[in-house]
């Protein structure tokens, strides 16, 4: 029997939406194997990962899904542009639209941002502007905010920001 592609796995799980069925761990493990074997994640597949995250609350604290989601989306945004390892403007705009649509910044989305900062060779100035403006965008916000922003700032350490010290875009 031929191995099913990552795309086909994600489409199969998408079909569960209509059936009201939750993805099982063995199905998630199979997706994980496909992701590891393929190592190429398309925009459609990354969008399917966001759909899964949003559709299934049971996946919120599922470590296997967290890894699949974080690795898959990171692979898409860092390795599909013209410069592998760089978060390019087009992928950044897509990612920002995905994570900031509800202004919730769920734990899995925060982990995704941290992973991208850790793995990226360069980041666009807009990414830096978001991080340095996050507190203002969310107000005083929830208790995790200060720790999260502090972690992002320490990881950034000038990574990919060609604007010098003007990280918030003010000046």
Q: CA of 74: how far to CAs of 39, 139, 142, in Å?
A: 11, 27, 25
pLDDT surpasses 60 at 147: yes
Are the beta carbons of 54 and 20 closer than 8 angstroms? no
Q: Which percentage of the chain shows pLDDT scores above 90?
A: 26
Q: What is the count of structural domains for the chain?
A: 1
Are the beta carbons of 162 and 125 closer than 8 angstroms? yes
- Whose structure tokens read 């929830």? 142
* Chain segment 11-40, per-residue pLDDT in tens: 776 676 667 777 788 888 888 887 777 777
Rg (CA), the chain: 17
* Chain segment 118-130, per-residue pLDDT in tens: 999 999 988 878 7
Q: Higher pLDDT residue, 13 or 44?
A: 44
Residue 134 counted as domain residue: no
Residue 38 counted as domain residue: yes
Residue 138 counted as domain residue: no
Vertex 59, ends 109 and 25: CA angle to 5°?
130
* Domain membership of residue 48 as a residue range: 6-122
Residue 118 counted as domain residue: yes
* Cα–Cα distance measured from residue 130 to residue 134, given in angstroms and rounded to the nearest whole number: 6
Instruction: Find, among 44, 48, 63, 45, the residue nearest to 17 by Cα.
Output: 48
* Cα–Cα distance measured from residue 150 to residue 37, given in angstroms and rounded to the nearest whole number: 34
Residue 1 counted as domain residue: no
Residue 67 counted as domain residue: yes
Residue 132 counted as domain residue: no
pLDDT at residue number 136: 67
Residue 153 counted as domain residue: no
């Amino acid at each position: 029997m031929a191995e099913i592609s990552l795309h086909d796995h994600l489409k199969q799980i998408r079909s569960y939406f209509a059936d009201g069925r939750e993805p099982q761990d063995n199905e998630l493990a199979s997706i994980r194997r496909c992701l590891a074997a393929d190592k190429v994640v398309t925009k459609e597949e990354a969008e399917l990962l966001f759909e899964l995250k949003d559709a299934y609350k049971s996946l919120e604290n599922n470590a296997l899904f967290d890894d699949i989601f974080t690795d898959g989306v990171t692979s898409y945004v860092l390795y599909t542009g013209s410069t592998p390892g760089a978060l390019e403007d087009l992928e950044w705009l897509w990612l920002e639209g995905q994570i900031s649509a509800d202004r919730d910044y769920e734990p899995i989305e925060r982990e995704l941002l941290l992973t991208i900062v850790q793995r990226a060779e360069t980041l666009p100035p807009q990414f830096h502007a978001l991080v340095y403006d996050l507190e203002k965008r969310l107000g005083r916000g929830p208790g995790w905010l200060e720790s999260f922003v502090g972690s992002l700032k320490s990881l950034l350490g000038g990574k990919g920001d060609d604007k010098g010290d003007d990280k918030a875009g003010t000046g």
